[in-house]
Amino acid sequence: MKSPLSYLFVSIILLIVFSSCSSKYIWTDVNRTAPAIQRNTVEGEMISFPDEGRITVIHFFTITEPVSRASLKPFQEVYDRLDKKNGVQVLSVNVGWGVSESQLKTALSKENVTYPVVFDGQRMVQNKFQVSSVPQTAIVNKNGIVDWVMHGYRDDIDFAQKIINKVNQL
């Protein structure tokens, strides 16, 4: 028979594991300067972000994690509704967990992603933005300050509309 202490230990471990799952979301008011990044997209286009004088929405994800991959389609809606119409810079960063750039390109094609995607195989962008879990979406204001970070993704909320609402508040 196991001791009550072992049941407590297992319960705590399960609580930690399930509370860190990315199937939930939470907004964090960050208020810190965003690092300036210049990288190539998977299509070979040089991109600088955040773009000074514009609101920038950056979605961090990995194609290998199901919840993170599920967030790509709703983020496409964010891009379609905000990018050129409202002068908002919208892009995504794949943190490269267990996938090559060519595998990423194939997966993005299957998901019909048309927004700019940066492959961050060295995790340089991830580290500079202090991304500890994915999916995660950062909103940088026109002054280069990370105003909000949305942690996680749930398909039972209007993910795209929640991001657009935050952008409209800036």
In the predicted model, is pLDDT for residue 152 greater than 80? yes
With cut-offs at 50, 70 and 90, classify the pLDDT of residue 1.
low
Helix (H) or strand (E) run with residue 78 in it = helix 72-82
pLDDT at 151: 86
Nearest Cα neighbor of 72 from 93, 97, 45 is 93
Q: Residue 64 CB: number of other CB atoms within 10 A?
A: 17
- Cα separation, 76 vs 117, whole angstroms: 11
pTM of the model: 0.81
Q: 22-169 belongs to which CATH class? A: alpha beta
Looking at per-residue pLDDT, the higher value among 9 and 108 belongs to 108
Burial bucket for residue 89 (CB in 10 Å: 0-12, 13-18, 19+): buried
- Cα separation, 118 vs 124, whole angstroms: 11
- pLDDT one-digit tens code per residue, 109-146: 999 999 999 999 889 999 999 898 899 999 999 999 99
- pLDDT one-digit tens code per residue, 32-82: 889 999 999 999 999 999 988 899 999 999 999 898 899 999 999 999 998
Under 8 Å between Cβ of 88 and 56: yes
pLDDT at 133: 87
- Cα separation, 166 vs 56, whole angstroms: 12
Structure tokens at 34: 């965003």
Angle between helices 159-169 and 72-82 (to 10 degrees): 40
- Cα separation, 99 vs 34, whole angstroms: 26
- Cα separation, 31 vs 10, whole angstroms: 37
In the predicted model, is pLDDT for residue 147 greater than 70? yes
* Average pLDDT of the segment spanning 81-87: 78
In the predicted model, is pLDDT for residue 21 greater than 50? no
Half-sphere exposure of 157 (CA within 13 A, CB side): 15
